[in-house]
Amino acid sequence: MFVKYNVRLLLFFALFLTGCAPTPQAPQVQDIQVIQAKERIVSAQGRGEVRIRPDAVRFTITVKTDGSELTTALEDNEKATQEALALLKKYEIADADIETDQPSQEEGVFEPIRYFVRQNIKVILRDLTRFETLSTEILQGGAYHISEVRFLVSDPALYKEQALNLAVSDARDKAEIMAVEIERELGEALTIRELGEALTIYQVNGYLYERGTTRYGSNLEVELPDAVYQSFNELEIQIEVVVEFQLK
CATH number where 126 lies = 3.30.70.2970
**Same-domain pairing of 127 and 198:** no
96-144, pLDDT tens digit by residue? 999 999 999 998 878 889 999 999 999 999 998 898 889 889 888 878 8
Residue 16 counted as domain residue: no
pLDDT of residue 117: 95
Nearest CA to 52 among 214, 219, 169? 219
Helix axes 131-140, 70-90, angle to 10 degrees: 160
What does the pLDDT read at residue 28? Answer: 43
Residue 13 maps to a domain: no
Residue 19 maps to a domain:
no
Residue 27: the pLDDT is: 40
Q: Tell me, yes or no, whether 182 and 211 share the same domain.
A: yes
Within this chain, do residues 113 and 48 fall inside the same structural domain, yes or no? no
Distance of alpha carbon 46 from alpha carbon 62, whole angstroms? 45
AA identity, residue 65: T
Instruction: Choose one of 82, 115, 150: the last residue of a domain.
Output: 150
- CATH number of the domain bearing residue 184: 3.30.110
Is 239 domain-assigned? yes
The count of other CB atoms within 10 Å of the CB of residue 26 is 5
Residues 135 and 215 in one domain: no
106-115 as b/e, with b when 16 or more CB fall inside 10 Å?
Answer: eeeeeeeebb
| Burial (CB count within 10 angstroms: exposed 0-12, middle 13-18, buried 19+), residue 167 | buried
Please identify, among 100, 120, 150, the residue that sits at the C-terminal boundary of a domain: 150
For residue 24, whether the previous peptide bond is cis, meaning omega lies within 30 degrees of 0, is no
The boundaries of the domain holding residue 122 are 57-150
Domain count, the chain: 2
Find the DSSP H helices in the chain.
2-20, 70-90, 131-140, 156-181
Residue 133 to residue 112: CA distance in whole angstroms:
38
B/e letters for 121-138, b = 16+ CB within 10 Å, e = fewer, are bebbbeeeeebeebbeeb
Q: Does a structural domain hold residue 20?
A: no
Q: Which of 247, 240, 204 is nearest to 222 (CA)?
A: 204
Predicted local confidence at residue 131, as pLDDT: 87
pLDDT, residue 15, reads 41
> Among the residues of 182-220, which ranges form H helices?
none
Residues 173 and 220 in one domain: yes
Amino acid 207: pLDDT:
42
pLDDT in the model for residue 171? 95
Q: What are phi and psi of 218, to 5 degrees?
A: -95, 10
Q: What is the pLDDT of residue 214?
A: 42
- Nearest C-alpha neighbor of 152 from the set 205, 96, 215, 199: 215
Asked whether the CA dihedral 162, 163, 167, 173 is positive or negative, the reply is positive
Domain boundary among 150, 184, 201: 150
Low-confidence ranges of the chain (pLDDT < 50): 1-37, 203-218, 226-228, 230-231
Q: Which residues pair with 118 in a beta bridge?
A: 64, 104
